Each structure stands twice: as C-alpha cells, then as structure tokens.
Amino acid sequence: MITVGVEEEYLLVDPVTGVPAPAVEAVCRTAGIERFAEREEVQDELLQAQVEVATPVCSSLQEVGGHLLRLRHAVGSAAEASGCRVAATGAAPVRGALPVPVTPSPRYLRMEGEARQLVDEQLICGMHVHVGIPDRETGVAVLDRIRGWLPVLLAMGANSPLWDGRDTGYASWRTIVFSRWPVSGPPPHFDSHADYEHRLDALVASGVIADRGQVYWQARLSDRYPTVEVRCLDVQLRADDAVMFAGIVRALVATAIAEEKSGADRPAIAPELLQAANWHAARHGLNGTLVDPLGRPRSSGDVLSALLGHITPALEEAGDLRAVSGLVHRLLQVGTPADAQRRALGEGGMPRLIELMTGTAPD
C-alpha cells in the first residue's frame, strides 16, 4: 500500500472579530496539545497567527481521517484555552490594523527582510498531501504526469474567497497571494531527476531564493521525506474533505507510477496553458468550466468525472473508491468551501462566517 500523510495549516483568530490572533506560542505550549498530540505533530508557521499540524505516515484513509480529527481537536482546544479559535480557511477574511508578527526564527526573519509586504500578507493556509514514492527518479515522472490535474484539484478545494472584509471575486485568493513569490505555481516539466536537481540548485545559486524550501511549486519532491508533496490545495473546512483529497492525490500518484512502469507516453501541456488553467481554477472554482489536462475547456462536472475515471483503478486497489467518489459527488452537489463561505457571510455576516470557519456553529 502506498503511504500518505497530510499537513494542514490553520489561522488563529479572535472569536468575536475574526481578526488574526498572534497566539501560536501559547497554543503550542498549552497542556492540551501534550494530552492529544505529540509535540512534533504541531508546529508554528511563518506568522504568529498560524499553526500547522502533520499526521503520521498512514496506510489508509481511515488513519488519515482519525489523525486529522485528533489534531484538529488538539489545536482547537489549545486555541480556546488561549483565548482564540482555530479557523480552517485558506485566507484571512479580515486583517487587523497592524501586521501579525513573524515567528522569530532566523529563516523567517530573513524572509521578512527580503520581502516584507509579501510576508505581512502571508495570512494564508494550505493543505499539503505527501505520498510515498519508491525513488526520486520515479517521483519526477510522477510530477510530470500529475501536473495537468493540479488546477482541477485547486478548483475543487477552493476555500479563500474573502480578503480585507470583502469578496475578492476569486474562489482561491490564497493561490493569487502565493503566486507573488518568485518560484511558485504549477511545476515545470523535467527530463529526469538529474534535471530536477540541477534546476533547483540553479535557483538557489541565483540568490533570488534563500534555500530549496522556497521552491513553492504546487507539487514537488520533498527534501525531508521520500514523497511527492502536492501543495495546491487550500486548507479544508471539513476534515472529511481533506481525507477525500488525500485519497485523490494518492490515487493520482499510484496511477502515474503504473503508467510510468507501463511505458505510456507522458502527457504534454504547455506551461503557459497550465498557468492559465491554474488562474482560471483559482478565479472560478467549480462555478463554470475547468481546463482539463489536455488544455480543453469543459464543464466542471465532466472534468471531475474524467478525474474519477482516470484514478478509479488505483482507488479500487486501495479500497477507497466508494468513499472518495461519494465525497466528490457531494462536492458537486453542495459546492466548494469558498461557496460555503460566501453563503455564510451573506446569511449571517461575520459572526456566521466565524462560526463556519471555526466549526462552532450551533447544532
């Protein structure tokens, strides 16, 4: 069984105003974390109003779901004890009058010195899915084979329509904020693992980025683990949607590995077309058309159907087909988390939106 793990970033917010709360130190050290989570499973992030959790390596989606619920409960309890709430949103819907302080690590302080405004506005939260690979050469082949599907995943998981108290018109404003860093967006095509390493080394040698950790492609090889890391997703409102994406990404990787072993041609999509598809997905989510991996505009329902058809054998082999397909069909019926945020704001203003993001809506 191919292994999978998930990292989620959350925003810490004031429970009344929704303004980001710089309370990560208190949240991480609170006794609630030690009761429900291991210290290495809960970490700080770039800004002191963000916290990240990471599941252990998992073999099944049931494991992923169990760990995510446990970790969400842990940080939620710790945040409440610290006077704030954990918000599962891809971008802060409102910001305070002053920037949120940077977490005082040498790396983060260096980033602040290099790009102050970008760092000040990095109040965004994503979800990263790690999938195990047999070797890095295979990993590069996987990147080439899944890159055309990244805009589709982005559209499905869009959860950041609001910024500075108003609707941005985008389903995933987080994607737009992140795109301002020098190395971001969909990964390019690579000829081999040697080509991948050479180009990463050249980026660092250029001096434009400080280290390989600032290669913010939406899919990349992890330098810490033997995994492909897919990073295009906003953090999800619901834990079961996060589980759905873990299953989809694992199946995409498994399908890519099988195709590579069979000698199938790698799909080719022009970088400018992939970039355009990525922007379109961030703008519209599932409300309209999507650009499929061949560069064709099609209805969102047709593209999601094609995605499920593409990965069905891998989902069946993992025993995930029923669970994942059911969640995909629910997504098509109820819309994305971005749609849910807009509905909440329209129905009950900021109080209702805060309830939605923090999971505190009354039954």
Which tokens go with 270?
């022009």
Residue 260, Cβ density class (10 Å: 0-12 exposed, 13-18 middle, ≥19 buried):
middle
Q: What is the pLDDT of residue 44?
A: 83
pTM as predicted: 0.95
Element (H, E) at 322: helix 321-334
Domains of the chain: 4-358 (3.30.590.20)
3-class secondary structure, 34: helix
Tokens of 311: 């990965």
In this structure, are residues 103 and 203 in contact, taking their beta carbons and an 8 Å threshold? no
- Among 195, 212, 196, 213, CA closest to 204: 212
What does the pLDDT profile of the chain (363 residues) look like in tens digits?
A: 899 999 999 999 999 999 999 999 888 877 455 566 666 788 888 999 999 999 999 999 999 999 999 999 999 999 999 999 999 999 999 998 889 999 988 989 998 888 899 999 999 999 999 999 999 999 999 999 999 999 999 999 999 999 999 999 999 999 999 999 999 999 999 999 999 999 999 999 999 998 999 999 999 999 999 999 999 999 999 999 999 999 999 999 999 999 999 999 998 899 999 999 999 999 999 999 999 999 999 999 999 999 999 999 999 999 999 999 999 999 999 999 999 999 999 999 999 999 999 998 664
Return all residues near 264 (Cβ < 8 A) that are at least 6 apart.
none
Provide the residue type at 114 as one letter. E
Which residue, chain included where needed, has tokens 């954990």?
A: 86
Closest CA to 74 of 59, 54, 91: 54
Task: Compute the distance between CA of residue 206 and CA of residue 93 in angstroms, rounded to an integer.
Answer: 35
DSSP symbol at 221: E
Identify the residue whose tokens are 């974390």: 33
Helices and strands: H and E segment counts in the chain: 14, 13
